[in-house]
Chains A and B, each alone.
Chain A
Amino acid sequence: MSKTVTVDRDKCYMSGECYYNHPELFRMDEDGYPVVLVGKIEDAALEQHAREAAEVCPAAAIRLS
């Protein structure tokens, strides 16, 4: 089953942890918010990265569903 990563921009305070730890999944937009680069995650390794990003996010702004 494919998964989707979403970022809650209200919670996000631009710590930057997601895009510096996982440039394969996120990049920084002009204001400092993350942009999710992969729409549907099919790959198991990538899914693991997404889970890590969600765990590490200090704002708890990343969801994997």
Chain B
Amino acid sequence: MAEALPDLGPNLDPRVFDSEAFQRDPFPVYKQLRDHHPVFHDRFHNRWILSRYWDVDAAFQDNGSFDRAMYKPDGPYDFGSRHVFGPNILEYGNSDEHRRLRNIVAGQFVGQKLNDFLPMIDRISQEVIERFIDDGEVEIVSQFSSQVPIRVISNMLGLPREDEDTFVGWYQDLIAGLGFGGEYLARGLKARNDMWDYIDPMIAERRTNPGEDLLSRICTAELAGGRMSVEEVKGFVALLLAAGGDTTDKAIANMWYHMMYTRPDQFADVRDEPALWENVFTEMMRYDPVVHAQFRYTTREVAMHGEVIPERAGVILYLGAGNRDERAFKDPDVFDIHRDDLHMGRENRSGRYKDGKNGHLGFGIGQHFCMGYAMARQESAIACTMLARGLKNVRPKFAEHDGIIAPSIDSGGFRAPRELWLEFDR
């Protein structure tokens, strides 16, 4: 639970966004933004910031004014070469091409396709749990949450099961490299190269001899300009690893963190009624979601709250701040899985719900709404249910925990505990 946040007043030094204190606990600054600077012009970082629930919602909804990619009035989007992985579909901004690319895979993570994958998620969770079930303790970030989603994706891509352990190793090195940099970076880049060497011949094979798997589907999808290049296929695979693996990995760790440390009293409810893991997921995605910031570029002048954001300006949408907006949720700083003012069920791309409640902003809204939303929810709930069922009398190993942190909220860094030790009866 949380105490009332301090009122920091109107004085906001934008260098705070680079501080470790902000990465650990951004919420007091979020409140300062919402209360005193609903449209904040951050001249130090040359960008604008929106933080209130309905303003973030409005920007997500308004494709005419806010584009995911840098808007070019006279030609295609500029992909640049700044990427660790190669280009991915998000850089196609709000174009028709983006819609086409998105629809190649979007259908794979919902409805019957998703239902077909659920037994596999079950089985993989169980296999991973069996590796530590006799130990009496487990560090779930390295031994569970970073294991399950990546094995699921690997399965969906149709990679051989005997290579899964290798694939998980590459993934963990890569994510550590991207997240922590420094000494981790070299290992991360090596992992990326090894992974590409591994996957190159597979791409070649599935282009000529496709199967039913997701990799074949990506390799053979027909777009306006023909098939995707090898580099584009890799960019797509990398996006699936990061957006589909890493986020779910962190979601699972965050859910357990909140049940062990934020609301141990509500963990009792979840043990009695495992269906409530979906509520844990939803409230986690509101209270402190894996992703806190999304980026847009204005395609025209936007007037809000007496300010004018110019055309072609970079804008940060702090969905982590919108989720804590008193204007949208009662007692927003309290974590409560029984909250009655939050839409608890499956998310809508529109951000609108028949029950009239507000949804969390954790998946974004609209054009770039997370296409793995249903899968993420289902997979997290299944993995958590299996773990809670498998570990007898599970409890935190340490009384204190230093909490959830992001490497860098503003560059899209995913928030999670670095480690989370559990103890259980053998």
| Interface class of chain A by DSSP | loop
Q: Is the CB of A20 within 8 A of B352?
A: no
Q: Judge if A7 is at the interface, Cβ distance under 8 Å.
A: no
Knowing A21-B99, A21-B103, the reply to whether A14 touches B353 (Cβ < 8 A) is yes
Q: Is the CB of B354 within 8 A of A13?
A: yes
Give A residues with C-beta under 8 Å from B. Answer: 13-17, 19-21, 23, 28, 31-32, 56, 58
Q: Is the CB of A17 within 8 A of B352?
A: no
Tell me the nearest residue of chain A to B111, going by C-beta. A58
Which residues 100-138 in B have Cβ within 8 Å of A in the complex? Answer: 103, 107, 110-111
Chain A proximity of B58: nearest CB distance (Å): 12
Q: Is the CB of A32 within 8 A of B110?
A: no
Which residues of B have CB within 8 Å of A56?
103, 107
Which residues 302-323 in B have Cβ within 8 Å of A in the complex? Answer: none
Q: Is the CB of A15 within 8 A of B350?
A: yes
Q: Is the CB of B103 within 8 A of A16?
A: no
New contact pairs (11) apart from A16-B366, A20-B367, A56-B107, CB-CB < 8 Å: A14-B350, A14-B353, A14-B354, A16-B348, A16-B350, A16-B352, A16-B369, A19-B350, A20-B369, A32-B351, A58-B110
Knowing A20-B369, A58-B111, the reply to whether A28 touches B103 (Cβ < 8 A) is no
Tell me the nearest residue of chain B to A13, going by C-beta. B354
CA distance A32 to B358 in the complex (A): 12
Q: Is the CB of B348 within 8 A of A13?
A: yes
CA distance A23 to B353 in the complex (A): 20
Q: Judge if B24 is at the interface, Cβ distance under 8 Å.
A: no
Q: Judge if B349 is at the interface, Cβ distance under 8 Å.
A: yes
Tell me the nearest residue of chain A to B352, going by C-beta. A32
Q: Judge if B61 is at the interface, Cβ distance under 8 Å.
A: yes
A-B contact pairs, 5 of them (CB 8 A): A14-B352, A16-B366, A20-B350, A20-B369, A56-B103
CA distance A65 to B352 in the complex (A): 27
Q: Is the CB of B352 within 8 A of A31?
A: yes
Chain B proximity of A51: nearest CB distance (Å): 14
Tell me the nearest residue of chain A to B374, going by C-beta. A58
Partner of B348, one of A15, A23, A31: A15
Which residues 35-81 in B have Cβ within 8 Å of A in the complex? Answer: 61, 63
